A and B are shown apart, each in its own frame.
Chain A
Amino acid sequence: MINHYETVFIVTPVLSAEQAKETVEKFKKMLQENEAKIVNEEHWGLKKLAYPIQKKSTGFYQLFQYEAEGDFIAKLELAFKRDERIMRFLTVKLDKHAVEYAKKRIEKRKSSAKAEK
């Protein structure tokens, strides 16, 4: 049964820029291999954490919003647990209100991005 999911994860800041990008690519590839349709992808970059996680006070935030099978999530979370470059991750199932909110959020970000240019 295809559901909508949204995963946010934090990559340790210790890595160099391209290592962080490479971690993100690794999970993106994993999503695409398991025919998960990526609806939206956001990179918030280096952000300050509200409290130190693993003795670090900043982290690269990355968001994936996708549609996938239910059983795929267990595999994805196992991969997150195994990868020590990921400090923290959170996968959330989106109900219809959440999906509608996410759509509005994408347009808002696009229009604000366009406004900045």
Chain B
Amino acid sequence: MAENSSEIRYLNPPAIDVKKEKYCRFKKNRIKYIDFKDPDFLLQFVNEQGKLLPRRITGTSLKYQRKVSQAVKRARHLGLMPYVADLLK
């Protein structure tokens, strides 16, 4: 009686340790050019303070991460995106 109460069994196991496979969204949907003119697309690669997200979080490949960072910097130069922000999202 005591041991099954301690060993909790779930109907479907909670997905805590299973790693979701990260992929580069630019390679997957074959996006070739990242436009610096539409900030709402670029907001996905920037955290709440307006800083660029690292590759380990977004999972983008090196080639496209450079294009993203260049596009974000150009958008910032043109005032389309802030250099420093709070609760941007």
Q: Which residues of A contact B (CB under 8 A)?
A: 8, 10, 49-51, 53, 59, 61, 63, 88, 90, 92, 95, 97-98, 100-101, 105
Write the nearest CB–CB distance from A6 to chain B, whole angstroms.
9
Which A residues are CB-close (under 8 A) to B52? none
Indicate if the CB atoms of B77 and A90 lie closer than 8 Å: yes
Number of residue pairs A-B, CB distance < 8 angstroms: 38
Tell me whether chain A's interface is mostly helix, strand or loop, or mixed. Answer: strand
Indicate if the CB atoms of B81 and A101 lie closer than 8 Å: no
Which of A50, A61, A90, A95 is the most central at the interface, judged by chain B CB atoms within 10 Å of its CB? Answer: A50
CA distance A105 to B74 in the complex (A): 18
CA distance A49 to B76 in the complex (A): 10
Indicate if the CB atoms of B83 and A51 lie closer than 8 Å: yes
Tell me whether chain B's interface is mostly helix, strand or loop, or mixed. Answer: loop
Total interface residues on B, CB under 8 Å, equals: 17
Write the nearest CB–CB distance from A64 to chain B, whole angstroms.
13
Which B residues are CB-close (under 8 A) to A88? 77-79
Other than the known A50-B76, A97-B32, what 5 A-B pairs have Cβ atoms closer than 8 Å?
A50-B81, A50-B82, A50-B85, A95-B33, A100-B32
Identify the closest chain A residue to B32 (Cβ): A97
In the complex, whether B37 has a CB less than 8 A from a CB of chain A is yes
